[in-house]
Amino acid sequence: RRHQQNETNHNRTEQKATPSTTTIATTNNNIMSSASKKANLMVAVIGYTGGVGTCLLKAMKTISLEPVCLVRSTTMKFTSGDQKEIPVDYSLLAKHLLKEEKHGIPVIADVTASAVVQTHYKGWLEQGISVVTANKGIFASAEYPSLLKAAAVGKARLLHETTVGAGLPVLSTLAALKASSHKILKVEGILSGTLAYVLGQVASNKTSLSEAVLKAKELGYTEPDPRDDLNGMDVARKAVILARVAGMESEDAVNLEKMTIESLVPEPLRDCSVEEFLSKLSEHGDEAMKEKVTAVESSSDGARLHYAAKVDVVNQTVQVGLLECEASHPFNNAGPDNMVAITTNFYKDRPLVVQGAGAGGDVTATGVLADILQCAYQ
């Protein structure tokens, strides 16, 4: 969320050509060629004044794609005519886009974290308005299947690449692999830059858990309450999204209340104030973490401990928590990046790896824009 990096490195493990090669290339070609069709996209941006929103408008301007409506929390304005600010009215927004449908494909891009906006997704999709979003909440909920049905009814696109890994092509890669005859066996992911930093600091017992958390907070890497990172729920939501896109069929397996989610927040500190949590973490958390790190690193040469999601499609299970990785595991080269390792029947001995910055306004915005351009292909 707060890790901004100058470059995004998409690192995929080299392999012999497989059926996925053609499909992934086709997807990329669609994005590039859809840029030439951008005049046919009627895009409304919700959350345009936020960090990702401002970056999205900048990216759209770079390719000369003008939004038709700009929406923020209380007001909205259409970019044609007098551009007068009016109270937010999502029904009016939908009517405007559908009225303009003869001029192009209607798309709503949601770059907020609002649950209220998400309540409108189903209706928009059923009306034939494509939805592109970086707002992950609903995709980890029981409402997700109904959104897919709504998109099918309205013949609209529902794209949410940036709900996992910001601008990294994680979900599109999974979808392309499935479409090109790969059988997804397992998906593992380091999906939190905050937890990657903390686990990197405690590796080899260089520093204690409490010191690592305090340093991460000082650097602005954590939420105002670091427990919102350490409890693993954000990683768990992303794990559910990965599982669904990978083809996990069991709804019980992707139920957040039934999943195995390991929290790094000591039990006695889960309900206290932030100040008390930070002051007492050394007392309740340091020794336990030190023992876990020591046990893993002494088990084999080069072994490391990471906080990750593990989606086992074969056994229909999803786990989120500390993962012991032997020296050859790609996670040991992740550094502060997000990394997703995808094992298929063709990428079996060495997983296909997608790696890079998992947060930041510009990388997230360009990921959203790539999804917007995909909507040119209804």
- The residues carrying an active-site annotation are 238
Q: What is the DSSP string of 44-86?
A: EEESTTSHHHHHHHHHHHHTT---SEEE-SSEEEESSTT---E
Closest CA to 274 of 226, 212, 220: 226
Residue 354 · residue 340 · CB < 8 Å: yes
Pairing verdict, β 105-110 and 158-159: unpaired
N- to C-terminal Cα separation, the chain: 31
Which DSSP state fits 273?
Answer: -
**Alpha-carbon distances, residue 290 vs 10, 112, 114, 301 (angstroms):** 32, 38, 38, 17
Q: What is the DSSP string of 292-341?
A: HHHHHHHHSTT-EEEEEEEEETTTTEEEEEEEEE-TTSGGGG-TTSEEEE
Q: Could you give the strand order of the β-sheet that contains 304-312, starting from the edge strand earlier in sequence?
A: 260-261, 317-325, 304-312, 184-190, 338-344, 352-356
Token pair listed for 27: 């997807």
**Alpha-carbon distances, residue 373 vs 44, 139, 166, 191, 366 (angstroms):** 13, 21, 16, 25, 10
Measured torsion, CA atoms of residues 162, 163, 164, 165, in degrees rounded to the nearest 10:
40
